[in-house]
Chain A
Amino acid sequence: MPVSVANSQLVYDAMKGVGVRLVSALPETWLVHLIRIADDDPEMTLVRLAKEEEGVGISAGAHFAGVKSAMLMQNHGFLQAINGIVGVSLLYKIPLLMLITDRGTFGEKDPWQTEGGKYTRPVLDALHIAHDDLSRPDDVEPKMAKAMSLAQSSLSPVALLLQRDLMWEEPK
């Protein structure tokens, strides 16, 4: 599977480097290595969700209990979690780090991914959620640190959109 192992590890290390000790996740192709690495790490608590909205509640609980967390999902997971993001994170001013694999953009070959990709940014903007793309390996660590800083200082959700150029290696 041409999902980048090296860059998945890079994202994982950066996430752990900013203090994340609990991740909640639903899989999607680009996330397989990230989730597996989290599962293999005894210092990380991995919560396998049934639906993404739960992750917003779990992250809020972890924050209340003094633990930094992150959510791993794709576009449709984000769209699924909107009510929780509005009714918990935004309403109660709770930091939330969302790592969203950004499917449905240029290069997408799966027709079923193409709608969700169109609405992710407009919905983030509509909710005034700060977001940035992760597309180059060199950007991963600094952008992760900046995203976590802003989430903690603004007590808000923030999103990093994991891009095809970072997560996917076209077979040669």
Chain B
Amino acid sequence: MKRIDCLKAIYPELEDCAVVTIMGAVAAELYSLGHRANFFYLEHAMGLASSIGLGIALSQPNRKVVVIDGDGSVLMNLGGLTTMARSRPKNLVHLIFDNETLLSVGGGAPGGYKWFTTATSTGSDLAGIARAAGYPRAQLVREMEDFEEAALGAINGDELSCVVAKVEAEMPKSFLMDVHMLENRFEFPRALQQPPKDKRELRRPTRITKQQPTTIPALKSLEE
């Protein structure tokens, strides 16, 4: 599974959320899909993206907050998972791309070669840790279909959720981001000044399958 494909799958859902990403590949790839003022890329302070997300979620309980994290960053702030779990903001989704390597700080190489792996490569299970920390929902996914279902379900859901997605340790096509950190820092709170839209207006159909009939009338007729 590729990180960029996962990001493409959730991108339309992020329109009205506060999105906080970690540095490096995740930031560059989300940016490459089209920058929005409601995306904040934390280019340093590994581990604190989830803490920033928690601060937003507690301050704006009516806005959905999506933190896009990585295994290396999460491992630098494992205690933060317990803080998140006990605060349990219903409006926060914690996505973790687990490529089992410290890719963006030099632990990866072109071609997906991992020369500096993280402990998830030797069995540490971040979804298990999140569950044990007290997250009401935490799931590990390896296939695109499962990712879509889990991530879209979490974003459209109403409880603190964690989705750990095992992805390839692939470099992004480019690390180029034509938005300065400070520009991003000032546009982001401005975007959060706009009140979030009514959740029902934003709710989009998640993946539609025969097993999972839609409740959206317009699509129901298509299905039948």
B16 CB to closest chain A CB, in angstroms?
14
Per CB-CB distance, the 10 closest pairs between chain A and chain B, nearest first, are A61-B55, A57-B51, A50-B79, A87-B45, A57-B48, A65-B59, A58-B55, A87-B44, A67-B59, A61-B52
In whole angstroms, how far apart are the Cα atoms of A53 and B42 in the complex?
15
Other than the given A51-B77, A65-B189, 8 more pairs (CB < 8 A) read A53-B48, A60-B51, A61-B54, A61-B58, A64-B189, A65-B59, A66-B59, A87-B44
Most buried by B among A51, A57, A92, A93: A57
Are B51 and A54 neighbours in the complex by a CB distance under 8 Å? yes
* Interface size range of chain B in the complex: 35 or more
Contact B79 A64 (CB under 8 A): no
Kindly state the separation between the CA atoms of A49 and B77 in the bound complex, as whole angstroms: 11
Q: At the interface, is chain B mostly helix, strand, loop or mixed?
A: helix
Minimum CB–CB distance from B36 to chain A (whole Å) comes to 15
Q: Is A59 an interface residue (CB 8 A)?
A: yes
Q: A57-B50, A61-B56, A65-B59 are in contact. Are A50 and B80 (CB under 8 A)?
A: yes
Q: Are A65 and B192 in contact (CB under 8 A)?
A: yes
CA distance A46 to B58 in the complex (A): 10
The distance from the CB of A155 to the nearest CB of chain B, in whole angstroms, is: 9
B209 within 8 A of A: no
Given known contacts A54-B80, A94-B185, is B58 in contact with A64 (CB within 8 Å)? no
Bound-complex Cα distance A49 to B81 (A):
10
**Is B56 a contact of A65 with CB atoms below 8 Å?**
yes
**Residue of A whose beta carbon sits closest to that of B50:** A57
Q: How many Å lie between the Cα of A67 and that of B42 in the bound state? A: 19
Question: Is the Cβ of B59 less than 8 Å from the Cβ of A62?
Answer: yes
Other-chain residue from B48, B60, B188, B193 in contact with A54 (beta carbon distance below 8 A): B48
Q: Give A8 to B185 CA distance when docked, in angstroms.
A: 34
Specify which of B43, B44, B188 is in contact with A64 (CB 8 Å cutoff).
B188
Partner of B87, one of A47, A62, A88: A47
Q: A83 vs B50: C-alpha distance in the bound complex, in angstroms?
A: 15
- B192 contact set on A, CB distance < 8 A: 64-66
Q: Which of A10-27 contact B (CB under 8 A)?
A: 22
Q: Which residues of B contact A116 (CB under 8 A)?
A: none
For A76-104 the 0/1 string (1 means CB < 8 A from B) is 00000001101110011110000000000
Closest chain B residue to A65, Cβ basis: B59
Q: By the criterion CB–CB under 8 Å, are B58 and A22 in contact?
A: yes
CB of A114 closer than 8 Å to a CB of B: no
B32 close to chain A: CB less than 8 A: no
B182 within 8 A of A: yes
Q: Which residues of A contact B188 (CB under 8 A)?
A: 64
* Contact of A62 with B80 at beta-carbon distance under 8 Å, contacts A54-B48, A57-B45, A88-B45 already known: no
**Which residue of B40, B48, B56 contacts A87 across the interface (Cβ within 8 Å)?**
B48
Interface residue? A131 (CB, 8 A) = no
